[in-house]
Amino acid sequence: MSILDNKIDVDIIGFGALNLDKLYYVNDIAREDEESYIKEFDLNCGGSAANTIIGLSRLGVSTSYIGKIADDEEGEILEMNLISEGVFVNNLIEAEKGHSGNVLGFVDENGDRALYIDSGVNDEISMNELNIEQIDMAKIIHYSSFVGDSFNTQIELLDILPASMILSFDPGMLYAKKGFKAIEKILNRTNILLINEKELFILFKEHYSNKYNLIHEDLTFRDLAKYVLEDGIDIVVVKRGTKGVYGINDKNQEVKVPIFEVDTIDTTAAGDSFNSGFLYSYLKGYSLEKSCLIGNWVASKSVENIGITGMPNENKLLEFEKTIDSDI
């Protein structure tokens, strides 16, 4: 059943996994036959779309979340975290049995990570549990990945979303590895694709090589982004790590925006933080360049701290916006 049934008008609804991240900070991520040691332990509420939605809420955007928790300690922590962050939980679903999602993570001294997912009830969301009338009130719905069957519910929901609703999609590595055909229906409905460079190549390189009889080795991230745009997506943003961000849209705008040089502590939610800044800017009607710039700035604040603790609030962003060239 839904935790709350009241209708609430929000700007953005997230739809993705909710996990309690149990993060171990280690001197090095051990590979086969290697050993490492734990330096620190931290507990954080996570999930890609959840991180993005929390980041948006901190920036003053009205948000809600479609996710599923169990009646357990982890579920209570996840729910109370959303509430404390100002995210409406009227679309949150509580399972009568099972356990809430968990992620066991290892983060090394360079901020690189290895994650192991125990999805729990995350993968048991069905269409009859969704509050469709409430979902339809949002301006944007933001999808991220599930490990299992809730992916099918995301697919089913596409058929009844209002045509006016913007779909933002960050496939993550889980959906990228499913391949183009598996997520083609989501891509066909997507307005804003937020994807990192590695995922872009995994998801699209073979597809477009075959479609246009191209040589694999000749394709660049820019080529792939343009092909994706030509297939009907309005905005494609490629997150390239330390190489910055590349964006292109259907208004013939194309930008490359460098990162902000900061002391990196943890890259765990860097991409999700970028999404928050970008979608905030999109709602404001900002240019592609300014949206990418703000996305990079929000991400830079995040990686300076552990987890999402460094994601900035609205006041800090407004101060940063005063420093941006008005012509951007």
- Mean pLDDT score of the chain: 94
Q: How many domains does the chain have?
A: 1
Q: What percent of the chain has pLDDT over 90?
A: 83
For residue 268, report the phi and psi dihedrals to the nearest 5 degrees. Answer: -50, -45
Residue 2: inside a domain: no
The pLDDT, as a whole number, for residue 8 is 80
Choose the most confident range, by mean pLDDT, from 29-38, 196-205, 209-218.
196-205
DSSP for 135-193 reads: HTT-SEEEE---SSTHHHHHHHHHTTS-TTSEEEE--HHHHHHH-HHHHHHHHHH-SEE
Encode 61-89: b = buried (16+ Cβ within 10 Å), e = exposed. Answer: bbbbbbbbbbebebbeebbebbeebebbb
Among candidate residues 296, 304, 298, 293, the one with its CA nearest the CA of residue 317 = 298
Question: Dihedrals φ, ψ of 228, to 5°?
Answer: -60, -45
**Residue 98: exposed, middle, or buried by beta-carbon count in 10 A (0-12, 13-18, 19+)?**
middle
Instruction: Report if residue 327 sits inside a domain.
Output: no
Q: How far apart are CA 305 and CA 220, in angstroms?
A: 32
Residue 4 lies in a domain: no
Q: Kindly state the average pLDDT of the residues 110-130.
A: 91
pLDDT band at 3; cut points 50, 70, 90: very low
In a domain, 5, yes or no: no
> Measuring CA to CA, how many Å separate 190 from each of 231, 236, 279?
10, 10, 14
- 257 close to 278: Cβ distance less than 8 angstroms: no
Question: What average pLDDT score do residues 5-17 get?
Answer: 87
Dist. CA 327–CA 290, nearest whole Å? 9
Residue 1 lies in a domain: no
More confident residue, 215 or 232: 232
Token pair 């009227």 is found at: 90
Q: Say what the pLDDT of residue 86 is.
A: 97
CATH number at residue 102: 3.40.1190.20
Whether the predicted pLDDT of 78 surpasses 70: yes
- Indicate whether 131 belongs to any domain: yes
Helix (H, G, I), strand (E, B) or coil at 249: strand
Rounded Cα distance between 26 and 106, Å, is 7
How confident is the model over 254-258, as a mean pLDDT? 98
Distance CA 119, CA 128 (A): 20
127: pLDDT strictly greater than 90: yes
What is the phi/psi pair of residue 40, to 5°? -160, 155
Q: Which of 27-31, 207-211, 303-307 has the lowest mean pLDDT?
A: 303-307
| Three-state SS at 135 | helix
Which residues form the domain of 119?
Answer: 12-321
Res 2: pLDDT: 45
Residues 6+ apart with CB under 8 A from 181: none
End-to-end CA distance of the chain: 46
Question: Does a structural domain hold residue 326?
Answer: no
* Token pair of 312 as six digits: 């900035």
pLDDT band for 327, please (50, 70, 90 cuts): confident
pLDDT of residue 6: 60
CA 8 to CA 222: how far, in whole Å?
40
Domain membership flag for residue 7:
no
